[in-house]
């Protein structure tokens, strides 16, 4: 029995993660300042190499965990980038992943030690290699996914207000949404629990907090809802 396809060329496989977060200032991505050549000192996506006995999803998870300390994060494979000289050191094909994290949960110290930093998606530095393109494509995918599955919730804290949810969707879609219409569309999905508790930070009146109801969501998902915002 054959044990190698001997004539074929082998290549390096990298994984680069587009990590989205959301806070009061809007939608952000986590970038890292490279501390090795080439392009040392420049900003880059967080990435690493695939190991011999590792599946791509596992590599993405490992890399995310290394730099943020987080586990159980929503991640999705996006695209394989293969331009010949995309990495000047050595032929490297990179598979991009996007991750959605609750910006409050990550390990701030870890990030700092790695010279990583959050940047607003509309005000991020220029990135090395083809990473700008990777980010652009990730934003497109995030927009699309948002209209098909309520993955936006991954970006919010456990308890959130309608306003936060609205602002998140506005940031993702980068357009203004009508408050009343938004609320009734979200409510019609029946995947939120309205709590008896109010958030008093944002206003005098206070606004009700909600949680995301995973069970109801899973139930609904069979029937494939679309969210037309």
Partner DNA sequence: AATTATTAATGTAAGATTTACACTTAATTA
Partner DNA sequence: TAATTAAGTGTAAATCTTACATTAATAATT
Is 56 or 108 the residue whose CB approaches a second copy more closely?
Answer: 56
Contacts to DNA by CB under 7 A: 161-163, 178-181, 183-185, 198, 200, 202-208, 228-229
The CB-of-87 to a second copy minimum distance in angstroms stands at: 8
Pick from 171, 58, 152, 89: which is nearest to 17 by CA?
A: 58
The CB-of-212 to DNA minimum distance in angstroms stands at: 16
Q: Count CB atoms within 10 A of the CB of residue 180.
A: 8
Residues in region 35-74 near a second copy by CB under 8 A = 36-38, 49-57
The CB-of-46 to a second copy minimum distance in angstroms stands at: 16
Phi-psi region at 119: left, alpha or beta (left = phi > 0; alpha = psi -120 to 50):
beta
Are the beta carbons of 62 and 50 closer than 8 angstroms? no
Q: Which of 4, 24, 71, 201 binds a second copy (CB under 8 A)?
A: 4
Per DSSP, what are the bridge partners of residue 47?
16
The CB-of-192 to DNA minimum distance in angstroms stands at: 12
Q: Can you tell me whether residue 173 is helix, strand or coil?
A: helix
Distance CA(48)–CA(208), nearest Å, equals: 42
Tell whether residue 80 is a contact of a second copy (CB under 8 A).
Answer: yes
- Tokens standing for residue 181: 């219409």
Residue ranges in contact with a second copy by CB under 8 A: 1-5, 8-13, 36-38, 49-57, 77, 79-80, 82-84, 89-93, 95
């Amino acid at each position: 029995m054959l044990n190698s396809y001997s004539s074929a060329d082998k290549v390096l496989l990298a994984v680069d993660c587009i990590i989205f977060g959301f806070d009061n200032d809007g939608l952000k991505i986590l970038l890292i300042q490279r501390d090795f050549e080439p392009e040392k000192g420049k900003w880059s996506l967080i990435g690493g190499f695939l190991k011999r006995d590792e599946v791509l999803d596992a590599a993405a998870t490992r890399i995310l965990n290394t730099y943020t300390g987080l586990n159980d994060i929503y991640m999705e494979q996006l695209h394989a980038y293969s331009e010949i000289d995309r990495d000047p050191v050595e032929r490297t094909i990179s598979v991009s992943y996007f991750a959605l994290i609750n910006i409050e949960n990550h390990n701030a110290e870890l990030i700092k030690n790695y010279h990583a930093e959050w940047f607003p998606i509309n005000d991020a530095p220029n990135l090395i290699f083809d990473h700008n393109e990777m980010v652009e494509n990730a934003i497109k995918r995030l927009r699309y996914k948002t209209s098909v599955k309520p993955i936006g919730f991954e970006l919010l804290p456990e308890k959130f207000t309608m306003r936060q949810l609205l602002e998140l969707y506005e940031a993702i879609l980068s357009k203004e949404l009508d408050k009343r219409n938004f609320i009734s569309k979200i409510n019609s999905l029946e995947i939120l629990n309205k709590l008896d508790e109010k958030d008093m930070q944002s206003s005098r009146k206070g606004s009700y907090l909600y949680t995301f109801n995973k069970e109801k969501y899973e139930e609904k998902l069979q029937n494939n809802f679309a969210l037309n915002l």
